[in-house]
Amino acid sequence: MTETTPQPLVEGITAAIVGVTEFGPHLDFFVGELGYEVAAEGVVPGAVADALWASGPADVEAIALAAAGAGTGRIHLVRVPEPIAPADPPHNLDVGLVGIDMYARDIEAAHAELGRSGRDWATPPTTYGVAVGEREVQVTQGVCPAPDGTVVVFVQPAAVRGTEAWAADPERSYTELTSVVCHVPDADAEVGFWGPEGLGMAVWYDVVFSSPGFDKVAGLPAGTKMRLAFLAGEKTARIEVTSAAGEHGVDRRATQRPARSLGHSGWSVRTRDLEAALESVRRTGGRVLTSPVETDDPLHGRAIVATADTPNGVSVTLWQPRD
């Protein structure tokens, strides 16, 4: 008999959860300047939000943003009236969630246009090389702060890797989120959690490299050796797991909680089988934080939802559509 390969439990990161003080500045940036659109808006009922995120009894106002209607690589804005910490953009050596990435068709034009709008980039477009096996991959990227401490990384790819937004609208300037980034103490555990033996994403590459260009764009000490594991599913967003041995900044994990924190505070992940996904979480060193609950809200539609932490404490909202 031929042994079949198990179907992956997840297709990628459906959305980055971003906590906001007010929606207006984020809508100005993501919708007004980057061309996202509001896919859904309303509230996550208080009972559901509190069960998932310990946010209290009040309803949580939420807006789902999509690029050209893409069903993945979205941005889930959730309003946080009383954040547990002030807005503060994470550094690439801080432990926890770092940036959210998207492709820019012309990164120099993006730098100029956003600059004219008053967006001061933390790092202007920079090109550097990453050794992948026997070849060097050239990467051009820049960092632009968004409201509430959210770090947005624009990447002009040397080779475009499938995005729903550019497939739907090849002329648009920006894609959906193409990857999300975390910096963790235990990269092996994080890769195992998300990878083929866990939730089913593929490891496209897993390298240790040092690059003066990357040190510059990431604000790292010269000569930093960075491990970068790049995990991909069938759809965006992909995951960049980074780890620098002996190099850590602020541990932000306790203050990166969905519906309680500002900025990049968690990941939303659609699964075909929530119970199997939660079993995988337990088996690969994560923690299941909540039992599944029923919801019908703008971020998940009609779904069953649960929350978990990865082995490195990254907050993940897992959900299975009911229809």
Q: Report the pLDDT averaged over residues 53-67.
A: 98
What is residue 217's predicted lDDT score, i.e. its pLDDT? Answer: 82
Residue 239, pLDDT above cutoff 90: yes
Q: How far, rounded to the nearest angstrom, does the alpha carbon of residue 108 sit from its chain's CA centroid? A: 24
CB of 288 closer than 8 Å to CB of 306: yes
All CATH 3.10.180.10 domain ranges of the chain, comma separated, are: 15-86+252-321, 96-243
What is residue 3's predicted lDDT score, i.e. its pLDDT? Answer: 53
What is residue 159's predicted lDDT score, i.e. its pLDDT? Answer: 77
CB of 11 closer than 8 Å to CB of 233: yes
Q: Report the pLDDT averaged over residues 153-174.
A: 92
What the block records as the tokens of 23 is: 């929606």
Domain 15-86+252-321 class, CATH top level: alpha beta
Three-class secondary structure assignment of 210-223: CCHHHHHHHCCCCC
Is 215 exposed, middle or buried, given 0-12, 13-18 or 19+ CB atoms closer than 10 A? middle
**Which residue type sits at 161?**
R
Give φ, ψ of 172 to 5 degrees: -70, 155
Residue 5, pLDDT above cutoff 70: no
Predicted structure pTM score: 0.96
What is residue 291's predicted lDDT score, i.e. its pLDDT? Answer: 95
Residue 199, pLDDT above cutoff 90: yes
Residue 10, pLDDT above cutoff 70: yes
Residue 2, pLDDT above cutoff 50: no
If one looks up domain 96-243 in CATH, what number appears? 3.10.180.10
**Residue 1 — pLDDT band, cuts 50, 70, 90?**
very low
Residue 290, pLDDT above cutoff 80: yes
**Which residue type sits at 162?**
G
Closest by Cα among 55, 80, 105 to 307? 55
